[in-house]
């Protein structure tokens, strides 16, 4: 570790006592993270709350062997120490970073190549809402599914943090954006974020409405965090050479699929999660996302929507809110 300033030996953090409900999150005191040569140490100002955090807390999201076991996958704050090989960052820089665990804490060590500067006029809370959601969306709909200008794009859960990122990024690149949401209020919220068409999946037959909106052309790219029986419904309304990107299993990880149309219409079904990607892969995602969208973030055209902010010590309440699905946009933890 080089260029180090005086730091405490211990910090506040949120630990998962054992798999279970939100009450399993406890405030604890742990040593500061040890930096690898290519890490920077960030004094966190804000931390994003994500569905994988819920899955980790309940015991359904295995922590990689090389990861920090504390929850938290995205942070924003100030660089306070720099590893010897962590080029391009200096003490005092304001950064947002994709962590390999350990975000729910006063300090986090992050690979330097997984971090970006705060966009202009972003608050710490807004910056902390970017890495996990926006990198995930970018990786799946642009790098893997190759979404193009003018194509029809469908995202489920449009009012979630992932949904907002998907709507904004796809719209910014000229796609025609269709979203699903579970209430009229959430549908209006998705329209406000830039969606061209929003479908209330509780009151409307979303596959028919989505397909009809394409004038019979079909959907080109789907970002699906539901999976389960949604996959067959998506296959049925895809355009030729359509691409389905699976990123979560909120509707279950198993389904009975008829692959006839997959073969006839050359439909691609892919899946990924961000955390298991290698350091080099995450660095490439970070770099390409920055190249394509930093200017739009600096102009305020692309930006997260913050629904509610909790103090770090109230992480359990943040998890309760996320599990209630009453939020629209991001839930953030503030580190005081």
**Contact yes or no for 243/223 (Cβ under 8 A):** no
Residues 288 and 237 in one domain: no
Structure-token pair, residue 224:
């699906």
In a domain, 322, yes or no: yes
Model confidence pLDDT, tens digit, residues 156-196: 999 999 999 999 999 999 999 999 999 999 999 999 999 99
Q: What is the CATH number of the domain that holds 154?
A: 3.40.50.720
Residue 212 shares a structural domain with residue 283: no
Are 51 and 107 in the same domain? yes
Q: Is residue 309 part of a domain?
A: yes
Query: Looking up tokens 């509707």, which residue turns up?
Result: 251
Cα–Cα dist 85/40, whole Å: 9
Mean pLDDT of 53-58: 96
Looking at 232, 249, 271, which one is the last position of a domain? 271
Instruction: Tell me, yes or no, whether 106 and 143 share the same domain.
Output: no
Domain residue limits at 290: 10-130+276-334
How far apart CA 115 and CA 86 sit, in angstroms, is 11
**pTM across the whole model:** 0.95
Q: CB 15: neighbour CB atoms within 10 A? A: 17
**Do 160 and 205 share a domain, yes or no?**
yes
Same domain for 309 and 228: no
Count of C-beta atoms within a 10 Å radius of residue 309 = 18
Residue 2 in any domain: the answer is no
Q: How many CA atoms lie within 13 A of 212 on its CB side?
A: 8
Q: For the chain, how many structural domains are there in total?
A: 2
Helix (H) or strand (E) holding 316: helix 315-324
Q: Name the burial class of residue 176, with classes exposed (0-12), middle (13-18) and buried (19+) by CB atoms within 10 angstroms of its CB.
A: buried
Question: CA dist 137 to 77, 155, 183, Å?
Answer: 22, 10, 23
Would the CA dihedral through 101, 106, 111, 116 be positive or negative? positive
Looking at the structure, tell me whether residues 210 and 290 fall in a common domain: no
Contact 198, 180 (CB under 8 A): yes
**Which CATH number fits the domain that encloses residue 17?**
3.90.180.10
**140 and 254 inside one domain:** yes
CA atoms of 126 and 47, how far apart (whole Å): 10
296 and 228 inside one domain:
no
Task: For the chain, report the end-to-end CA distance as a whole number of angstroms.
Answer: 25
Q: Is the pLDDT of residue 39 over 50?
A: yes
Look at residue 298 and tell me whether its pLDDT is greater than 70: yes
Q: Do both 112 and 149 map to the same domain? A: no
- Dihedral angle over CA of 310, 223, 158, 335, nearest 10: 10
How do residues 124-140 score in pLDDT, each as one tens digit? 999 999 999 999 999 99
């Amino acid at each position: 570790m080089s260029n180090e300033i005086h730091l405490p030996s211990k910090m506040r953090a949120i630990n998962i006592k054992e798999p279970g409900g939100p009450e399993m999150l406890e405030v604890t005191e742990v040593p500061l993270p040890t930096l690898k040569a290519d890490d920077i140490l960030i004094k966190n100002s804000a931390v994003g709350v994500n569905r994988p955090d819920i899955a980790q807390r309940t015991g359904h999201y295995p922590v990689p062997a090389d990861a920090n076991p504390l929850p938290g996958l995205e942070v924003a704050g100030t660089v306070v120490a720099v590893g010897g090989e962590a080029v391009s960052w200096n003490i005092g820089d304001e950064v947002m970073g994709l962590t390999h665990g350990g975000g729910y804490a006063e300090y986090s060590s992050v690979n330097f190549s997984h971090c970006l500067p705060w966009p202009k006029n972003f608050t710490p809370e807004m910056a902390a809402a970017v890495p996990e959601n926006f990198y995930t969306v970018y990786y799946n709909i642009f790098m893997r599914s190759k979404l193009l200008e003018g194509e029809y794009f469908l995202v489920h859960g449009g009012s979630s943090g992932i949904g907002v990122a998907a709507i904004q990024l796809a719209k910014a690149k000229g796609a025609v954006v269709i979203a699903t949401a579970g209430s009229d209020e959430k549908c209006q919220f998705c329209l406000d974020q830039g969606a061209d068409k929003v479908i209330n999946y509780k009151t409307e037959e979303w596959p028919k409405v989505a397909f009809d909106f394409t004038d019979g052309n079909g959907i080109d790219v789907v970002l699906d965090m539901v999976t389960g029986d949604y996959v067959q419904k998506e296959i049925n309304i895809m355009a030729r050479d359509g691409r389905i990107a699976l990123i979560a299993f909120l509707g279950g990880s198993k389904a009975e699929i008829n692959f006839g149309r997959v073969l006839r219409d050359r439909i691609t079904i892919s899946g990924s999660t961000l955390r298991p990607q290698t350091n080099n892969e995450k660095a490439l995602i970070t770099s390409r996302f920055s190249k394509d969208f930093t200017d739009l973030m600096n102009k305020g055209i692309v930006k997260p929507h913050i629904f509610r902010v909790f103090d770090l010590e109230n992480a359990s309440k943040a998890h309760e809110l996320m599990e209630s699905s009453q939020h629209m946009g991001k839930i953030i933890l503030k580190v005081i």
